[in-house]
Amino acid sequence: MYILVDIESDGPIPGDYSMISFGAVLVEKELTRTFYGQLKPISDVWIPEALAVSGFSREETLAFDEPKVVMQNFADWIATECKNRPFFISDNNGFDWSFINWYFHHFIGHNPFGHSSTNLGSLYKGFVQDTFKNFKHLRKTAHTHHPVDDAMGNAEALLKLKEMGLKISLK
């Protein structure tokens, strides 16, 4: 089962900087099964401009939940919602995956997604056979930088690709 994930952070890399929030959408016709987590910073280092994208202040993030609790809740959600192997997919998997993978391994000792991820943009470019094309016009939900909204829009784009003939199993 594909899970579309989007994260917001206060800097460019996990460990030195913190994942502030993330959203996940189970990719299926209805797009009703979602997860949202807000995580307390793990570092005193942060970039104000990067944090501003999330819409939260540093003070607000300091009141968020402990990362270990959020990551365990996410792992539990994945186990409950996915009867088959979960597949991680995102708009920018190099960024989103690095944070999710690091946080899973650091806080709960394993990553339920395993060791691989898929990039939605690259998938689209291959599907249309044009590295200059962008999938973002396929979104219905506006890209707001709230991670559930952004994951939802990207899940809608993946479903549109399936309608257009992409051979993909959503089971």
Whether residue 134 contacts residue 121, with contact meaning beta carbons closer than 8 Å, is answered with: yes
Distance CA 79, CA 120 (A): 23
Looking at every residue in the chain, the average pLDDT score rounds to 97
Q: Is residue 35 part of a domain?
A: yes
Mean pLDDT in residue range 138-160: 97
CATH classification of the domain holding 8: 3.30.420.10
Average pLDDT over residues 119-138: 96
Mean pLDDT on 75-102: 96
170 falls within a domain: no
pLDDT score of 144: 94
Which residues lie across from 2 on neighbouring strands?
87
Domain range holding 9?
2-163
Q: What pLDDT is recorded for position 142?
A: 94
Query: Is residue 122 assigned to a domain?
Result: yes
Residue 160 has pLDDT above 90, yes or no: yes
Mean pLDDT throughout 50-76?
A: 97
Q: Specify if 58 maps to a domain.
A: yes
> Has residue 171 got a pLDDT over 90?
no
Over range 104-125, report the average pLDDT: 97
Residue 169 falls inside a structural domain: no
pLDDT at 134 over 90: yes
Query: CA 14, CA 98: separation in Å to the nearest integer?
Result: 7
Owner of token pair 């898929």: 118
pLDDT of 10-59, one tens digit each? Answer: 999 999 999 999 999 999 999 999 999 999 999 999 999 999 999 999 99
| Residue whose token pair is 């094309």 | 133
**pLDDT at position 170:** 86
Whether 77 shows a pLDDT value over 90: the answer reads: yes
pTM listed for this prediction: 0.95
CB 154 within 8 A of CB 91: yes
Is the residue at 168 inside a domain?
no
pLDDT band at 128 (very low <50, low <70, confident <90, very high): very high
Number of domains in the chain: 1
Determine the average pLDDT of the residues in 74-84.
Answer: 95
